[in-house]
A and B are shown apart, each in its own frame.
Chain A
Amino acid sequence: NAGVTQTPKFQVLKTGQSMTLQCAQDMNHEYMSWYRQDPGMGLRLIHYSVGAGITDQGEVPNGYNVSRSTTEDFPLRLLSAAPSQTSVYFCASRKGAENTGELFFGEGSRLTVL
């Protein structure tokens, strides 16, 4: 009963390095999204996807890329990490594009950029 799986759980990067946060869900959900969580700011939407091959920007997309080649996977790429990207990242999925559905969250990936 995996649900939404994020890897890695912890990562330390140096400024300018690149990396990919992986997100996979086994519930056949159409909608997937990435949020970042920072103290006092709640969760902010980075990018989202309503199905394979379709992505769109959220509130804070700069510095991040996404792709959705399969229904199951939605990786988040940092091309050139900056200290401002130090945060906890959450992947979330939902059955359909309708906003009434419950979001299912992964356990988070804590990223530190030095």
Chain B
Amino acid sequence: AQSVTQLGSHVSVSEGALVLLRCNYSSSVPPYLFWYVQYPNQGLQLLLKYTSAATLVKGINGFEAEFKKSETSFHLTKPSAHMSDAAEYFCAVSPYSSASKIIFGSGTRLSIRP
């Protein structure tokens, strides 16, 4: 069975600083991996996804994530935080062979200090 763990339920960074949100997964088969973002009072939107092509994946709004099989990680980064990045971020995993089940992590709330 697959699972995903997000380290840190709340991360706070200063505007302009590096953003690093951590995600580790477990899966018995090679996974698909996703990052979604949720702005207040909205549904989730896809930021980026890994589907076995390049291990460094670029997404929207300057975010990127690197798939590291040896560390079973898929951490999300952005070089310079902007106030508009304040939101909740969810990592999600799904195995190649699954019939459509995507499992989400518990989420990390990102706050940006002026």
- Which A residues form the contact surface with B (CB < 8 A)? 4, 31, 33, 35, 40-45, 48, 50, 56, 58-59, 90, 92, 97, 99-100, 102-103, 105-108
Contact = CB atoms under 8 A, between A and B. Distances in A.
A59 B101 CA distance: 9
Given A99-B96, A105-B43, A108-B43, A45 B49 contact: no
Contacts of B41: 107-108
Nearest to A98: B100
B105 A42 contact: yes
21 contacts: A4-B43, A40-B9, A40-B106, A42-B105, A43-B44, A43-B90, A44-B104, A45-B103, A50-B99, A50-B100, A59-B103, A90-B43, A92-B44, A99-B102, A100-B49, A102-B46, A102-B49, A103-B36, A105-B44, A107-B43, A108-B43
Given A43-B90, A100-B32, A107 B104 contact: no
A90 B42 CA distance: 10
Interface string B43-56: 11110010100000
A99 B44 CA distance: 16
B25 to A, nearest CB: 13
Given A97-B100, A99-B102, A103-B102, 18 more contacts: A31-B100, A42-B90, A42-B106, A43-B44, A43-B90, A45-B101, A48-B100, A50-B99, A90-B44, A97-B99, A99-B94, A99-B96, A103-B36, A107-B41, A107-B42, A108-B41, A108-B42, A108-B43
